[in-house]
Amino acid sequence: MAPTAAPTFQTHDLAHDEPVDYIWTLNFGPQHPATHTTLRLVLKLDGERVVDAMPDIGYLHSGFEKIGEHLDYNQYVTVTDRMNYISPMANNIAWHGAVEKLLGMELPPRAKYIRTILAELARISDHLLCNGAVGLDTGAFTFFLYGFYQREVLYDIFETLCGARFTNSYTRVGGVSQDFTPLVIEKIRTFLKTFPKTLEDMERLLNRNRIFVDRTKGVGVLTKEEATNRSATGPIARASGVTRDLRKDEPYLAYADMDFKVCCMKSGDCFARYLVRMAEMRESLKIVAQALENLPSGPVNVGQDERTALPDKGLVYRSIEGAIAHFELTMTNRGFETPHEECYSAIEAPNGELGFYLAGDGTDVAYRARCRPPSYIHFAIFPHLIRGHTLSDVVAVLGSLNVIAAELDR
């Protein structure tokens, strides 16, 4: 099924050429079990070969960037949850990382470590789903269930931590909403112990599985030059040999203190993207273990003087300063001040570079909150990857790009 070399075909300029009767059109989506989310592809087929694919997106467009101009910096975190809902923690961290960069705020060390741990857990959760979905679409159902069971464990950790399983809204400007409790740390430690075994099982299921390898190897090849030229980032670029990883290249949070490797492959096909994600999960585990061992003590929020984080409830009820600080933050005509400036800040989200371009206008509501969504940029590569492959490869390539439609359309 998988062609060994990139197949060569007569290319058709469908817009201008005379219509040819053997080319037929297939509508894929917006509701299809293998698109996983709401996106639509119009495929031009020559027999079973895809001659061209035309993505049609916007079905889930809900104006997140417009809403960002009307909600304040702490409120908007709930919207970022709903962008890439596979790893909402990473979105929270990216959003407030950008806000703190705009404010020029330095986080307390404990908050940095907690965010690092959660960003890596979010990465594991995202890669489990992405690889699980690739497995599911290519016929490996057990693999998917193994992955989903471990995601459930991660959801339990998030639930213990902040009460929400799915839409965490965990970070705040200048810190996080809840500190780690001993129970959370214990649950993460248990996860660190049990997860490698599942990971081994998962690798044993698929890494040398003939059906899976045949369906993914050599399919959807993206070369290194193309990957950079088409703005690919994250695991997709790294599977093509681009060594860029913001955790190493522009260390943010506590990544400078961590010892981990950047996982890269050279072949740039769906199988390479699968392997990079599997390898990254192991590195994430290493980071979580290190951060948990070296978790500093201290506050998880910036001090009260910064006037961005809500003070502790004890302070609010028992001291006038606490009550005033709480009042100033929660009233609609108050809030904190931001500079009249614009800045861009990005993190290495599970899917690639997730950045926010913020324009501050003095108030605590962003003047412009642009999200640089990795899914959107990766989906633009899709027609290029699928041209010349068979219809059954559509799901493998789509799965390996990990396109989340809520982030795609925002």
Partner 1 sequence: MLKTTTLEAMLAAYPELAVSEFRGGTRVVAQRGKLFETLQWFLCQRGFDLLVDITCVDYLNYRDAKDRFGLVYLLASTETNERITIRVYLNEPELSVPSVVSLWEGANWMEREVFDMFGIVFDGHPDLRRILMPDEFTAYPLRKDYPLQGRGERHNFPVLRRNQA
Binding-site ranges for partner 1 (CB under 8 A): 57-58, 61, 63, 65-67, 69-70, 101-102, 104, 226, 228-233, 242-244, 249-250, 340-344, 346, 353, 355, 357, 359, 361-362, 367-368, 370, 372, 376-377, 379-381, 384, 409-410
| Shortest reach from residue 380's CB to partner 1, in Å | 4
195: left (phi over 0), alpha (psi -120 to 50) or beta: alpha
Q: Which long-range contacts (CB under 8 A, 24 or more apart) does 156-164 make?
A: 156/187, 157/121, 157/184, 157/187, 157/188, 157/191, 158/89, 158/121, 160/184, 160/187, 161/118
| Shortest reach from residue 141's CB to partner 1, in Å | 33
Cα torsion 144, 150, 151, 153: sign? positive
In the complex with partner 1, the residue whose CB is nearer, 15 or 320, is 15
In the complex with partner 1, the residue whose CB is nearer, 48 or 225, is 225
| Shortest reach from residue 248's CB to partner 1, in Å | 9
In the complex with partner 1, the residue whose CB is nearer, 121 or 371, is 371
Q: Are 175 and 309 in contact (CB under 8 A)?
A: yes
32 Cβ contact partners less than 8 Å away, ≥ 6 residues apart: none
In the complex with partner 1, the residue whose CB is nearer, 318 or 340, is 340
| Shortest reach from residue 282's CB to partner 1, in Å | 24
Q: Are 137 and 33 in contact (CB under 8 A)?
A: no
Tell me which H or E stretch contains 110.
helix 109-137
In the complex with partner 1, the residue whose CB is nearer, 245 or 393, is 245
| Shortest reach from residue 225's CB to partner 1, in Å | 9
| Shortest reach from residue 236's CB to partner 1, in Å | 12
| Shortest reach from residue 58's CB to partner 1, in Å | 4
The conformation of residue 38, written as its DSSP 8-state character, comes to: S
Cα 222 from chain centroid?
A: 20
| Shortest reach from residue 240's CB to partner 1, in Å | 11
Beta bridge partners of 139: none
In the complex with partner 1, the residue whose CB is nearer, 64 or 113, is 64
In the complex with partner 1, the residue whose CB is nearer, 95 or 379, is 379
In the complex with partner 1, the residue whose CB is nearer, 292 or 380, is 380
Closest CA to 253 of 122, 120, 356: 120
Q: Are 355 and 374 in contact (CB under 8 A)?
A: no
Q: Are 235 and 352 in contact (CB under 8 A)?
A: yes
Alpha-carbon gap, residue 76 to 65, rounded angstroms: 10
Closest CA to 22 of 6, 10, 30: 10
What are the φ/ψ torsions at residue 357 (nearest 5 degrees)?
Answer: -105, 115
